[in-house]
Structure 1
Amino acid sequence: MSSKKQEMLRIAEKLGVSIDAVEGEIKHLRLNQLKIVDLLPEMLIMVRSLISSETFSYRRNQIGVMNKGVLISFQNILDKTEKGETFAARNMNNRPHVRITPSHVESEILFPKGMHVQQITILVELEYLKRFVGIDRNKLYYLFNTDKTFWIEEFMSPEMVILVSQLANLSLENVLSEAFYRLKALELMYMLFSNLLNRENTEHANLSKAEINAVYLVRNAIAYSLDKSPSKDELVKLSGMTELKLRKIFTQVFGRGIYEYYNHLRMQEAAKLLKQYNLSVSEVGYKLGFSNLSYFGRLFEKHFGLKPKKWQNEYETKYK
């Protein structure tokens, strides 16, 4: 067995995954990169890049290397979208994002055939995290109530993308590499928690697996139809919840109301079309379902601080 796969078995044991399960399925994985930085008892950092040759799944049990902790996973740290592929045609799970869960949550991990996993996972001990956040921990109370099952997803800012890239490309043989990893992990958490403080206020209820799955069905339905939002009745029916419950849980997980989240996705796609495909402002607006280009411009400016054309020109000047 290769050294990378031996290392994966060691990681799996620390992260609560059955060794028998991993040994049975590891043959389906092509490991491009795998690093573990053991900073226990405070933190454990894992960097991995792998591709599955077959569809398989395994169950991750409660993580036992610390009594109580939070698992922060920076998913798809390299956004390698093929040219010509539209945002609506892609699985939302392929976009760079962050997920936060308590370390005791058990979950089923699915690897579809051909899936390319690129992630940095930080397991951080709860009391250490409280000390890091300090007096502001009351504002992020839901992260520290690990008796409840919470599930948070947040967009990855450009600054966070730069940081995770630094972590992914650092060699463990560098001078003071463990100190560097610790500093950058704390910096990432600072940026992440700063973003969480800007979220829409909502009550954080205990979530079931079915409720989490339901809001992801709704989120994906929105993401696959950026030029035309599904109707409220369609989304309620899809979720199997009441409208009120859907709105509450959606905001709890994604930090925005459904309509605000939909517009955020549209603006992220608009920026991508403007900078990567050099489309005109009108082409982008119409492509994303805006019949009123003035409204499109105002919405874009609200998100990025500049009108679309000026933003596109500044991007071209800076990067081309």
Structure 2
Amino acid sequence: MKSVLKSHSFAQKTITRTFPKDFKTAKLNEETLITNGALVKGETKELVLDGIKISVRNGSITPPFVVDVEHDFPFLKIHFEIEGSSRYTPKNEKSVAVYIPNGHYNFFYLPEVKGQLEYDCTKRKTLEILFTKAYLERVFGHTFKNLSAEFGTALEQDIPFVMWEQSKPITAQLHLIIEEIVNCNYGECIKKAYLESKITEILAIFFDCLSHKQTQHDLCIPKEDHLKILHAESIISKNLKNPPSILELSHLTGINQFKLKQNFKLIFGKPIFTYVTELRMVKAKKLISEQGYTIAETAYEIGYKNPQHFTAAFKKKYNYLPSKLKTD
């Protein structure tokens, strides 16, 4: 399997990457690629499992940055644009346009990839997961095709499929899984099993969305209101210690309280208060496990006046005490 990337921004103009057929490998293969050109700098960590390729990118570019891309294999991909944006414009009939803005993600199948990628942000941080139809069948059997007639038909008949016409914001639940994948430091055998379990978890979330037909609801939200909800989420995520009330958030975003609550739940899958709690728990995990914060310090940092209230909320969410993170 081969991927060819061409751009005048590359020092060598053309980059060709080859991979084993269907990403088949008996063990975990891991490689770190460093780029230090005039227009693009950064690091890409690539991990190939059995049927999966994970790419973790972190770097900077000088926009507009345009790349001609071609893959000689069917493209099943989960793409998280953690920071930055990505726009794919096809040059054939076997793929469709995919745009993923900052803080969004999508899941798509392109039988043939030949087109142009464009990046218009100065910084990019992404998690990209490629896998094969054979991998899906190995993990889920043939049942996944029954979850969505459109998705099943697309895979069987090689029809391009994009899960969401408008890419979705990365939720607190997915942010946590992304952090667990990106920061996984286990040894080879354990790491392989751990990463496979996390990818299965993401796919289970996506297939659950397909089975509940949630995609159609989001398309009913006017673009202006959609942008206001994204702005509301941004305000919340930056003010976890002292988040605004619904009334304050309504004034800050220019959308009435009813629409704010209704559309927030449609886009992010849960009420605002529940979403705030999940973001707080995600941040708490990082503070304790990565930065060595005490339970009391963590509680204060994420907006709990009483550490016991924080501990109770953490246990309700994860089914174990936050103190366990200190001993792992």
Match of 2:310 in 1: 296
Q: 1:265 to 1:238 in 2, by over 3 A?
A: same
Match of 2:44 in 1: 33
Q: 1:120 to 1:69 in 2, by over 3 A?
A: closer
Match of 2:273 in 1: 259
Distance 1:187 1:139 in 2: 20
2:79, 2:126 within 8 Å by CA — same for their partners in 1? no
How much is the aligned-residue C-alpha RMSD, in angstroms? 5.1
| Structure 2 residue 131 is the aligned partner of structure 1 residue 110 | no
2:75, 2:130 within 8 Å by CA — same for their partners in 1? no
Unaligned runs of 5+ in 2: 1-9, 19-36, 84-100, 111-115, 153-160
Distance 1:109 1:209 in 2: 22
Correspondence for 2:245 among 215, 231, 243 = 231
The residue identity in structure 2 corresponding to 1:73 is: H
- Whichever structure has more strand as a proportion of its residues is 2
The residue identity in structure 1 corresponding to 2:121 is: F
Deviation of residue 212 (structure 1)? 4.8
1:102, 1:150 within 8 Å by CA — same for their partners in 2? no
The residue identity in structure 2 corresponding to 1:149 is: E
Please give the residue correspondences for 1:108-147 in structure 2 after superposition, counting only pairs within 5 Å: 109-112=119-122, 115=123, 117-122=125-130, 133=140, 134-136=142-144, 139=147, 146=162
> Which moves more between the two structures, 293-302 or 157-166?
157-166
Higher relative contact order (CA 8 A, sep 6+): 1
Q: 1:304 to 1:298 in 2, by over 3 A?
A: same
Match of 1:317 in 2: 327
> What SS does the aligned partner of 2:247 have?
helix
Per-residue CA deviation, residues 241-277 of structure 1 (Å, 9 max, x unaligned), is: 5545444443344333221111111112222223344
> What SS does the aligned partner of 1:229 have?
coil
Distance 1:7 1:296 in 2: 49
- Whichever structure has more helix as a proportion of its residues is 1
The residue identity in structure 2 corresponding to 1:135 is: T
Deviation of residue 287 (structure 1)? 2.7
Distance 2:214 2:325 in 1: 39
> What SS does the aligned partner of 2:201 have?
helix
Deviation of residue 165 (structure 1)? 6.8
The residue identity in structure 2 corresponding to 1:110 is: D
Q: 1:214 to 1:142 in 2, by over 3 A?
A: farther
Distance 2:52 2:224 in 1: 29
| Structure 2 residue 15 is the aligned partner of structure 1 residue 7 | yes
Per-residue CA deviation, residues 127-174 of structure 1 (Å, 9 max, x unaligned), is: 9969975325555679777486143334448776665678xx99xxxx
The residue identity in structure 2 corresponding to 1:111 is: C
> What SS does the aligned partner of 1:7 have?
strand
Deviation of residue 102 (structure 1)? 4.3
Distance 2:224 2:118 in 1: 13
Match of 1:217 in 2: 231
Match of 2:301 in 1: 287
Q: 1:198 to 1:283 in 2, by over 3 A?
A: farther
Q: 1:284 to 1:48 in 2, by over 3 A?
A: closer
Q: TM-score, normalised by structure 2?
A: 0.55
Match of 1:272 in 2: 286
The residue identity in structure 2 corresponding to 1:315 is: L
Distance 2:79 2:233 in 1: 19
Match of 2:79 in 1: 73
Match of 1:190 in 2: 200
Correspondence for 1:204 among 215, 218, 222 = 215
2:56, 2:182 within 8 Å by CA — same for their partners in 1? no
Match of 1:89 in 2: none
Match of 1:149 in 2: 165
Q: 1:272 to 1:251 in 2, by over 3 A?
A: same
Correspondence for 2:57 among 24, 46, 49 = 49
The residue identity in structure 1 corresponding to 2:57 is: S
Aligned residue pairs total 259
Please give the residue correspondences for 1:92-107 in structure 2 after superposition, counting only pairs within 5 Å: 99-102=105-108
Distance 1:253 1:107 in 2: 26
